[in-house]
Each structure stands twice: as structure tokens, then as C-alpha cells.
Amino acid sequence: MLNEAEAFLDWVRRSPQSGSEPIQVPGEWEEASRAQREGNLLGASSWRQICLAATQMGISDEKLAAFRALAS
């Protein structure tokens, strides 16, 4: 059964591409995204949204910077 699944995924990856990006199967985009973030649990967009919400709640920029330093 595993061999059949792997053969199917290989077949999907060999399909004609519509652009320059390689064809990916479920989970590959997420894996690449995690590797690109180099261990950071949050992407830049998520962190910006958290900072915006925190600022709206009255948390200072200095305190946000301290939290960011702890996460790095």
C-alpha cells in the first residue's frame, strides 16, 4: 500500500507544470515554509497582527520587543 501511495505521489510530481514552481503535494508547502522561518513558530505576518492587536490593547513597543527577544 505504501509503495502505491509513493508511486502516485511521484506521478503527481511529474505532471506538467503551469508555471515555474514545482508541483507540491499536501504537506510540502508547509514543510518548506517552516524551514524558511528557520525555527520561528510565527511567520512575519502573524507577528505583525499580534503586535497590532497588542498595541491596540495598550502594550508598549518596548514590551513587544522584549517578547520578541525571548522568542528568538
- What is the reported pLDDT for 40? 65
Q: Supply the pTM of this predicted model.
A: 0.42
Angular region, 39: left φ>0, alpha ψ -120 to 50, beta rest: left
> Going residue by residue through the chain (72 aa), what tens digit of pLDDT does each one get?
888 999 998 999 888 888 888 888 888 888 877 777 676 667 778 888 988 999 999 998 888 888 877 765
Q: Does residue 71 sit in helix, strand or coil?
A: helix
